[in-house]
Amino acid sequence: METLKKFALFCVFCLGALVTVYQSWGVMLMAFPSVIWLHKPLGVIHTNKYIALLLWLVILYLNCLFATAAALTYFFIHVWHLHQQNIPTNYSSRSKRTPRRINPSTGLLMKNRHFDIAGNAYGWKSD
């Protein structure tokens, strides 16, 4: 299956090269397989946002269509990987608090299930 995927990407790249001879949007077809093949090096470059911005500005200066298609492809690949890993999009650092248990007879907080802070027992059955 992996070989078939690589072959299909190569065919799309070749089709883009052929279309580029007559139409300028053929470079967009060449951008999709290029970004998929270079996804790991692009991930390393994107660890620093300034270097990534510089890379995309240089590609944008060289060819606007290629930069647009490559950026969209990289964005969708990144979103797809996040979806596959089931990473939540909101990174809430708040942890859930345990509810406070108050002894109704003394009004003091409970240390554990049966004793409040003063050491008074609560909830024991008298035998």
> What pLDDT digit, counting tens, does each position of 5-14 carry?
889 989 998 9
Q: What are the CA-CA distances from residue 114 to residues 15, 81, 99 (Å)?
A: 75, 48, 15
Considering only CA atoms, which of 18, 14, 56 is closest in space to residue 33?
14
pTM of the model: 0.51
Helix, strand, coil tally for the chain in percent (to 5): 60, 5, 35
Q: What is the pLDDT of residues 45-78, one digit of tens each?
A: 888 889 988 988 888 888 888 888 888 888 887 7
What confidence tier does 112 reach under pLDDT thresholds 50, 70, 90?
low
- Look at residue 43 in the predicted model and tell me its pLDDT: 84
Average pLDDT taken over every residue of the chain = 78
Q: Is the pLDDT of residue 83 over 80?
A: no
The amino acid at residue 89 is T
